[in-house]
Structure 1
Amino acid sequence: MDYQAYGNDYTIKPLVTELKNPVKNILLVGNSFMYFNCGVNPMLVGIAASKGIKLVLTLVGISGSSLYWHDVKSYLRPNGLRSYAFSSDGKNTLQFINYPNGKIFDAVVLEDSSQGPIHPELNKLFAQSVARHGADVRATGAEPMLMMTWAYKGRPEMTRQLADAITKEANKNRMPVAPCGLAFARALREMPQLELIRTDNRHPTVAGTYLEACVFFASLLKQTPEGAGFFGKYDDMSVDPETGAGLQRAAWETVCDFNGW
C-alpha cells in the first residue's frame, strides 16, 4: 500500500491546537468532500449524541468549490441560516430562533477544494480566502477552523503537500486544523483492506465520511470519539462496529499526535 510511507508525513506543526471555547452550533463550509454519503454532518451529530453531547450542525456545500467561491460573511448574517427549525415531535411545528447578539455559530469549519491549497494558480486565492473568511467568522464571535483534506488514491505525496500548505495558512491566521488527511493516511496504513476513497479516486466512501466525522468530533471538542455507539443512520450509510472502532481510534490518535495533546 503506497500510503504507508506517508502515514504521518507533515513538516509544519500547528500553532493553534484547539478552540478557545466550547461549541454547540457549528457551520461547515465546503464542497462534496463534506456532503457525500448524505453528509458528514449527520454522522457527526450521531457520534456526539451517542456520547451524550448535543451538537447542531449546518452544512453549506457547493459542488467542486473552493473557499474563494463561498460568501461566508453572508452565511453568518442574522435571520439567515438557522433562523428557524421544525420540531421533531411529529407535529412539525415551526419555531423561529433568537440568537443573543446575533451570534448563530460557535465555530465554522472551512474546507477548500481538494487541490486548491497546493495548486500553483489557486493557492494564492486559498490564502486570501482563509484570511477573509477567518476575519468575518471572528467578527461574529465564532471561531474558525480549517479542514485538511486527504490525498487522492494513488497520489500519496498529496498527504504531505496538503498538510503543510493548509497548516501554513492556519498558522498565519491563528486557526486550528482538523487533520482529516493525516487520519486517512493513518487508517489506510493500519487497515489496508479498508476502502476510504471511491473509485473516482477522490471522494470518500461511507467509511471515509465516518472517519472525517470522527476527526471533526475530536478536533472541535477535544474529546475522543472512541466508544461512540453510532456507526451511521441508514443501512447503506453505516460502517460495521469493528470498522467504526478502528476509525474512531485512528481519528483520535491522529488528532492527538498532530496537536501534541
Structure 2
Amino acid sequence: MNASNELIEKRKSLHIMISRFFNAVIHYLRCAASFSSCNHSRTTRCMILWLGQHVGTMRYFYTMRGLFILLILSVLHVHGQTSVLFIGNSYTYVNDLPSMTQQLALSLGEDITVASSAPGGYTLFQHSTYAPTITAIESNSWDFVVMQEQSQLGALPADVTTTEIAAIQLMATIEENYECTYPVFYMTWGRQNGDPDNCAAFPFMCTYNGMQQALRNNYVSLATWNDAHTAPVGAAWKQVRDTYPLINLYDADGSHPSVEGTYLAACVFYCTFFQVSCVDATFNSTLLPETAAILRSIASATVLDDIGTWNLDEPNGTNALLDGFINGPDFITLIHYGQGTHLWTCTNGESFTTATATFTFPTSDTYFATHIYNDPCGNTDTANFTFNFAVNVDDQDPGSQYTVIAGAPGVVEVHGVQGGGTLTLFDLQGRMHSKDRINSSTEYVASPAGLMFWTLIDIEGTVMKGKVFVR
C-alpha cells in the first residue's frame, strides 16, 4: 500500500472511530437521563448496557487512541452521578452518614453527591416549614430525598403526632420541585433498652423490640401511603442485634449510632438507592474488615430479599388524578399540576395537551373524559371521568362552581353544589372513611388529618374525583 492509500485508510478508520465514539456516548447519555429505561440504579445499569453494546468500540479506542478512553471515562464520571439530599437530625449527622454513604458508594464505582439538612432533634413537621430545608430541596433536581423523623415520634401512633401531615407536606414540596425525585423514608431503630419517656403512655415503647416493631410498621406505612421507598435501617439493625449481639451498634447513650451503626445505615442506603448488593465494597470506615463485611452482608440481604415490603418497586413520578376543577353551567375545567405532557380527550369532541383543560358541553348528555399523563420520569398514568350535564336548565345556577378544599383543622369544605349531592372520602389505602349528603351550597365535612381522596356526585349525576390535604 502506498503512502497516499495508507493515509486515506487511516482517515477512514479515524472517522469510523469518532462516529462510534459519539454514538456510544449519545446512547449512554440517553440511558443515564432516563429513569424509565434504567430505573434509579441508572448509573450501574446504564454502564453495563453501554459497555455490553459498545465493547467492540471500546477495544477499538484502546488500540487506536488512549485519549478516547479518557474521554469516555470523563463522560461516565460526569453524567453518572446520583444526587441525594438527607433531611433529618442527629441520627443523620452523627458520624456523618451522608459522607459515609458517599464513600461506600465510591468504593463500588458509584459517584454520589450528597447534601443534608439535619439540625439536632428536628422533626419532619419542623422541616416542612424550615427555610434551609425548603431551600435545600429546591436547590437541585435530586435523584433521592431521604426523610428521617425524630427517633421517638417515628414509633408513636399517627393520631398523636404530626408525622403523617409533615410527610405529605414535604412530599408536595419535593414533587413540586422535581417530579422524578424518589422520596425515601429512613426507618430508624429502637432505643437500646426502650424509651422510658414514653413507656407509661405507650407500653410498647418500654422495650427495644416493641419500639422497633412500631418504627417498622409506621415507616412502611408512610412509604406505602406516599408512593415512596423505605430504607430499612431499623430492620437491618434488628437482624444484627439478633445474630451478632457482640457488634455494638449504639453510642454510649443507647440511642445514637456508633460508627458500626452508621456504617450499617450507609450500607442499607446504598442497597436501597441502587437495588444491588454492597458486599463487595472495599470501604470499611474505621471498622475491622470482618465486622464491616458482616454489616454489608446483613444490609444487602435485608433490602434485596424484601423489595416489595420496602416499596422499592414503586415507580417515581405523578399519577393522572385531578389536582382541582371548576364546574360551570355548561363547562368543566380540569386541573393538573404535573410538569410532564398531558392529553385530555372527551366524548364532546374536544381535546387538549395543556395541564388545564376546559370542556364545553353544547347539549344535555353524559360525557366521558380521559386524562393521559406522561410524567418527566417516563411513566404513564390514565384517569377517566364521567360528567352528566344538564345544559340550560332553568333551576341550575349559572354561576355554580364546585370546589372541595381543606377548611379548619379536621374539616373539608364543599362549595357550589346546587340541589344536593354526595361526597365520599377515602384514605390513602383506598378505604372509605365517610359518605356525606351535601344539602346546601356550602357544607363542612369532618375528616381525619392528612391526604384524603374524594368522590363527589351531584344531583345531575356528574362524577368528580380528586384529592385534598386536610390539616
- What's the TM-score, normalizing by structure 1? 0.77
- The reply to whether residue 163 of structure 1 matches residue 216 of structure 2 is yes
TM-aligned CA distance change 1:57 to 1:122, over 3 Å: farther
- Give the secondary-structure state (helix, strand or coil) at the position aligned to 2:306: helix
Q: Pick from 33, 58, 62 the counterpart of residue 115 of structure 2.
A: 58
Unaligned stretches of 5+ in structure 1? 1-18, 79-102, 233-237
- Residue 149 of structure 2 aligns with which residue? 112
The one-letter amino acid paired with 1:253 is A
Q: Which runs of 4+ in 1 moved over 4 A?
A: 120-123
Counterpart residue number, 1:226: 279
Aligned to 1:254: 302
| Structure 2 CA distance for aligned equivalents of residues 75 and 123 of structure 1 | 28
The correspondence for 1:187, drawn from 217, 240, 244, is: 240
Q: Describe the superposition over 1:159-213 as per-residue Cα deviations: whole angstroms up to 9, x where unpaired.
A: 1110001111211111110000000000111211110012211000000000000
Preserved CA contact (<8 Å) 1:116 1:122: no
Unmatched segments (≥5 aa) in structure 2 = 1-37, 43-80, 194-207, 313-471
Partners in 2 of 1:123 and 1:143 — Cα distance? Answer: 27
Distance 1:53 1:122 in 2: 40
User: Which residue is equivalent to 1:139?
Assistant: 176
Taking the aligned partners of 1:259 and 1:201, their CA distance within structure 2 comes to 29
Query: Which has the higher relative contact order, 1 or 2, with Cα contacts under 8 A spaced 6 or more apart?
Result: 1
Partner of residue 77, structure 1: 138
Q: 1:166 to 1:121 in 2, by over 3 A?
A: closer
2:192 maps to 1:153: yes
Q: Tell whether the 8 Å contact from 1:117 to 1:123 is kept in structure 2 after alignment.
A: no
Structure-1 separation of matches of 2:175 and 2:160: 23
Name the % identity: 27
Q: CA RMSD in A?
A: 1.9
* 1:1-150 → structure 2 map (5 Å cutoff): 20-21=39-40, 22=42, 24-37=82-95, 39-70=96-127, 71=130, 72-78=133-139, 103-120=140-157, 123-141=160-178, 142-150=181-189
Structure having the higher strand fraction is 2
* Deviation sequence 1:3-32 (CA, Å, 0-9, x none): xxxxxxxxxxxxxxxx94347011001011
**Whole-Å Cα distance in 2 between the matches of residues 165 and 76 of structure 1?**
24
| Contact preservation (8 Å) 1:148, 1:163 | yes
